[in-house]
Amino acid sequence: MIDTTSLTHLTHKTALTTVEKSTSATPLNSSLKELDSASAIDGATFSTLSRQLSSSAARAQARDSSLDFKSLRSLANSISDKIAGNSYHANRKLHDAEIPDTDDPALLERAVQATSFKNGSGANPFAGLSQDQLRLIMYDEDSDFTINERSAAYSENYAQEQVWKRAICQRYTDEYNETGKSTQTLVMLLAHYDQLPPIEKAQYPAHYAALITSDDSSAMDIFNALKSQSDIQEA
C-alpha cells in the first residue's frame, strides 16, 4: 500500500464524477483547453477573457515545447513565488497599485476585483474557471494579466485542488479498505497525470507513474490498455 500523502500533487482535472467502481469511466480524452467552460463569466467579459486565454495557450505551448522538465520546474517554482510566495507578499504594495495597460473597462474592473479579493474583500473574478484555464493565467509571464489577477487564479486553482485531494484520498482509502488494493483509483491518478501540461508534470517527482504503482503494477497495465483503446478510437 502506498502512503496517501504521496497523492499531494493531485488536481481537479479528473472529474469527481469518476469516483465510481468502473475504470472505464476514467476521462482519458479530456481536452486541456476548455476555453468555453467559464460559467461564472459571460457576455463581453467572457469574450475578452476567452481571447486572452487563447493567446496564453499559444504562449504556453511554445514555452513547454522549448524547455526541458528541469527548466520548467525551475520556472514553475519562480512563478509560484512571484504570485503566491515570499516575493509576492514582499511586493504587495506594488501589486495592489498595478493597473493593466488598457482602456477596456471590463479588464480594468477585473483587475480591481482581483486586488480586492487578494486583500480579503469581494469574490474571486476567476471563480468557476477550470484548472486548465487557471493554469494558463497563473503561468503566463507575458500576458496582460496583473500579478494580483494571476495570484487570484492561483488561489482558485488551489481551492479546487484541495477539493480534489480530499475526494481522491478518500476514494483511495475506501477502495483499499474494501478490496485490499486501490487499483481503480491508481488508474484515475495515472489518467490525471497523463493529461497535465508539461509545466505541471515537471513539478511531480521523477518517475511519478512508476512510483505510485510500485505496489500494484496492474494499475499501469489497465491504464495503458485504456489509453491504447482511446488512441485507436480517436484515430
Dist. CA 84–CA 94, nearest whole Å: 14
- Supply the pLDDT for residue 206: 85
Cell numbers linked to 3: 502512503
- More confident of the two residues 36 and 165: 165
Q: For the whole prediction, is pTM greater than 0.85?
A: no
Question: In angstroms, what CA-CA distances link 62 with 14, 54, 95, 119, 135?
Answer: 25, 13, 27, 33, 15
Dist. CA 43–CA 186, nearest whole Å: 40
Predicted confidence (pLDDT) at residue 208 exceeds the cutoff of 60: yes
Predicted confidence (pLDDT) at residue 204 exceeds the cutoff of 80: yes
Give the whole-number percent of the chain exceeding pLDDT 70.
80
The one-character DSSP state at 205 is P
